[in-house]
Structure 1
């Protein structure tokens, strides 16, 4: 175990559980560390935005609360989305995914799924990842980001099939369409013979919490199928959003 990381997290836990801000001498005595070591670790935590220094006494910032809220929000969205996912699975006959966006890696993380009853179906697993610009749930969530954040993806859009988005210009073009339609489509951009359609789910703060979508073999997810099921997917996303206290789509920032 990395002892530096362990010490930093221990300090953070002590500060989070304390009713008042703490001084370096006090922390050093409680944790059995040197004052110079505590000072160095606190300086790092301040730089990372987890700790604030107020007149020589230290306490946690709201960043811990923000991260905790994101995690709790994922548990809430899974619980609330599950019945709606089951309905969508019955309506479509295809696999239904619930995904969240990891903005740092620009990947989606599958946090829940309902398998299709079909013998041939799209493969994925809960906890698995996929490039956000190549799958429907990912593209739906990317469309909610400001254009400036999308422009920052220049050079990171690795194609995985001949249909994959490979440039920021193409991403922005598709995003404009997704914002108008309120759903995104994957035309075999991650796996050549797998298609999907997805829409976002909003939390009580109006921000995107997750995306819900269906996927399956291209032979079944034809253009006609997508045209018929896209409104179901959008309604599923809106229903879960309402359950989470979410509202209408927010205006996009260019």
Structure 2
């Protein structure tokens, strides 16, 4: 169950709204009963809350179903937040060029608490899609998140791995010892290849973007299927990605050598 949000002068209704939106950030689709259990509210109160959010465009009810998903207003807020993020504001033109070169989905993810969030994404090829969209937050143990997690302080890693780890697919790693070994591999190689850890049948290539203090709070990912990214193409794509990471790092003010 979601931990209560401290009131500290915030109205109860306002706190419930924030808790509900936070729940949608963790899981994309909620029914009334499921969300009521998550928030510790009655079904009547939860239904009223969802109707209020829907009237203002923050959630939408799926056609012909009782389930709700995030609405267009949240997507607009996510895009504004991405524009205010340093790496999001400087990286977009580089993403466009990389998407044109690779004809795959390319994205930038940044650290947010114990999770990571997609702040920008470009898709040129009409037949290449991904379930992760701008504004989605995902556990650091899955997919691109491991490249962020690998460069964090050991105490931070311990905190992340002691929490329950969501299994997005059968391929999502969830054993702390296994994940720690993966983090060692990321640090040794400076990159990660994800095989269906978040989206079944997807293959994602991820590299770190080093900030002005050589810290890693953002990563660059190219996502497609294994059919479109066979092993023979991985080296070529990582080379293009490394150039893009270096260009973004330079635009962020990093004047040190950044290639791991």
Q: Is the 8 A contact 1:183 1:234 kept in 2?
A: no
Q: Is the 8 A contact 1:183 1:199 kept in 2?
A: yes
Where do residues 211-222 of structure 1 align in structure 2 (5 Å cutoff)?
211-222=219-230
Where do residues 27-106 of structure 1 align in structure 2 (5 Å cutoff)?
75-103=85-113, 106=114
Match of 2:146 among 125, 135, 139: 139
CA displacement at 1:240 relative to structure 2:
0.7
Aligned to 2:141, what secondary structure does the other structure show? helix
Tell me the equivalent position of 2:56: none
Runs of 4 or more consecutive aligned structure 1 residues displaced over 6 Å after TM superposition = none
Q: Is the 8 A contact 1:161 1:188 kept in 2?
A: yes
CA displacement at 1:197 relative to structure 2:
0.8
Aligned to 1:121, what secondary structure does the other structure show? coil
Aligned to 1:216, what secondary structure does the other structure show? strand
Q: Is the 8 A contact 2:105 2:223 kept in 1?
A: yes
Cα distance in 2 between the residues matched to 1:74 and 1:3: 27
CA displacement at 1:249 relative to structure 2:
5.3
TM-score w.r.t. length of structure 2: 0.63
Gaps of 5+ in 1: 7-70
CA displacement at 1:90 relative to structure 2:
1.5
1:172-221: CA deviation from partner (whole Å, max 9, x where unpaired): 11111111211122111111111111112222222223111111123212
Gaps of 5+ in 2: 1-6, 12-80
Aligned to 1:123, what secondary structure does the other structure show? coil
Match of 2:203 among 164, 187, 195: 195
Cα distance in 1 between the residues matched to 2:171 and 2:203: 11
Q: Is the 8 A contact 1:186 1:196 kept in 2?
A: yes
Match of 1:240 among 235, 244, 248: 248
TM-score w.r.t. length of structure 1: 0.64
Tell me the number of residue pairs that the alignment of Structure 1 and Structure 2 aligns: 183
1:151 has 2:161 as partner: no
